[in-house]
Amino acid sequence: MVLAGCSNDPSPAARPIGATPSLTPSAGQRVVSQSLVAKPTTLDLGGVTVDTWAYGDTAPGPLLRAKAGDMLRVTVDNQLPDDTTIHWHGIRLRNVADGVPGQTQDPIKPGTSYTYEFTAPDPGTYFFHPHVGVQLDRGLYAPLIIDDPSEPGRYDAEWVVVLDDWIDGTGTTPDEVFTKLTGGQGGGMDHGSMEGMDHGAMRGMARDGAQPFGDAGDVAYPHYVINGRAPADPDVLRAKPGQRVRMRVINAGSDTIFAVAMGGHQMTVTATDGWPVEPVTTDAFYIGMGERYDVEVTLDDGVFPLVATPVGKKGIARALVRTGPGRAPADDTTPRELSGQVLMGTDLRPAESSRLDPKDPDDQQMLHLSGQMQPYSWAVNGKPFGQNTPISLTRGNRVRLRMMNMTTMTHPMHLHGHTFALPNGLRKDTVLIAPMRSIDVDLDADNPGDWMAHCHNIYHAEAGMMIALNYVK
Ligand code: C2O
Ligand code: CU
């Protein structure tokens, strides 16, 4: 295959970066400061106790919230026994704050701290997580919300709903999971029938055609959680009957696409990855790793399950919505909405305000996704990250990325530092690409630096399904 415009040297795995230049707030700019401690801790997931790593003593970590245009100044104290960084997923920030070790900063060594300073220009629902190894699959993640000062606010209450697949501290760690995956053992792990790499079962699921994502994940997790709680002792979201609630749903999972529904309710999707869409009312919706959906729901009177089922896997994540007295539904209740219309994000249409200015692309670049389970290897443009050739971007260009999935799995492809537009104009920073599908996305190269595009399945990314996009002018 001939790749246009790829003339850089292959990216070295990690080069020394040196001190990060500090940022001075502009006149009148508000500064939101927060400190985080990344550390080993013990968490109660609701009937399950795990030793893990988290930001403080909760997972999700503390909500970070600012207004569009604010400067964020976040100090991270690394008390982990390992290097770490933080990536501010989806934020169109200055390159030096992007949190990619060896590309935008040196890793934060154990026992040291580091300060991130950046302006968050766009309102929306985001999150943050490390960009080192498979640390995302620990408890190291937290929501990041950028408010729009001019938004009308058509809702009475707001809930942040963070989904995760959980294995850390259940007799194994994400590092061990990755070692087993890459060790070519592939046939299941030794701590219980639901754990390990349940791949044959997922292929079976793919054949029945019930969901559009084929082989959706590599790891069968022992637990799926909403806001850090397992179904046996779920998070309870409270409001009053008749109130209109805005849910900001974030998939912080490492290897799991979820289908989300609220028993007895329809949901109206209003934004994805921070960008307003033409509102669509649906029974349920899919959300891939790294994606976010804002939905609005008018609440009925009673107690209802808010459920996220892992696509192609066994298990359930659940919270409870309570607007009145009443007994909670059984913890394995699957709302019938999940067998109704399940919205695919790529079927959404952008709000007018989310569209890029009409323009033909100046340049086209290919991201050819390849790989398989046995041996476990994943690549972009024929080689794993570190051996593949960075894509060159020229400042000012409208660039079309043609992302071609040549595998039997779905990959949530995420781009740093920019958002892109799908062919129908939908703006996103993370998009699910089903097996053997290809998607063209357009971006404006308006944020110079060295960036990443990668699969947000953290095991695929760590195995090499990642590529650098470097501004050359
Ligand atoms: Cu949330 Cu490079 O990713
Ligand atoms: Cu992938």
292 lines ligand 1 (CB under 6 A): no
Atom of ligand 1 nearest to the CA of 454: 2
- Its pTM surpasses 0.75: yes
Which pLDDT score, from 0 to 100, does residue 8 have? Answer: 41
Contact between 355 and 392 under an 8 Å Cβ cutoff? The reply is: no
Contact between 361 and 307 under an 8 Å Cβ cutoff? The reply is: no
Which pLDDT score, from 0 to 100, does residue 210 have? Answer: 65
**18 CA → ligand 1 middle, Å:** 22
CA–CA gap between residue 132 and residue 254 (Å, rounded): 13
Phi, psi of 459 (to 5 degrees): -75, -35
Which pLDDT score, from 0 to 100, does residue 14 have? Answer: 64
Helix, strand or coil, per DSSP, at residue 436:
coil
Which pLDDT score, from 0 to 100, does residue 196 have? Answer: 42
Contact between 231 and 317 under an 8 Å Cβ cutoff? The reply is: yes
**232 CA → ligand 2 middle, Å:** 30
Atom of ligand 1 nearest to the CA of 466: 2
Read off the pLDDT of residues 168-187 as tens digits, 9 standing for 90 and up. Answer: 999 999 999 999 999 854 33
> What DSSP element (H or E) covers 192?
none
Nearest CA to ligand 1 atom 1: 89
460 lines ligand 1 (CB under 6 A): no
Which pLDDT score, from 0 to 100, does residue 13 have? Answer: 53
Can you give the length of the chain in residues? 473
Phi, psi of 335 (to 5 degrees): -60, 145
Q: Which ligand is nearest to the CA of 414?
A: 1
Per run of 10 residues, the mean pLDDT along the chain (length 473 residues) is 38 74 96 98 96 98 98 98 98 98 97 98 98 98 96 89 98 97 54 37 42 89 98 96 98 98 98 98 98 98 97 96 91 89 97 97 98 94 97 98 97 98 98 97 98 98 98 89
247 lines ligand 1 (CB under 6 A): no
Neighbours of 440 (CB within 10 A): 15
Instruction: List the structure tokens of 410.
Output: 């779905």
Residues 6+ apart with CB under 8 A from 393: 363, 399, 445, 469, 470, 471, 472
Which pLDDT score, from 0 to 100, does residue 152 have? Answer: 75
Nearest CA to ligand 1 atom 3: 89
Which pLDDT score, from 0 to 100, does residue 332 have? Answer: 77
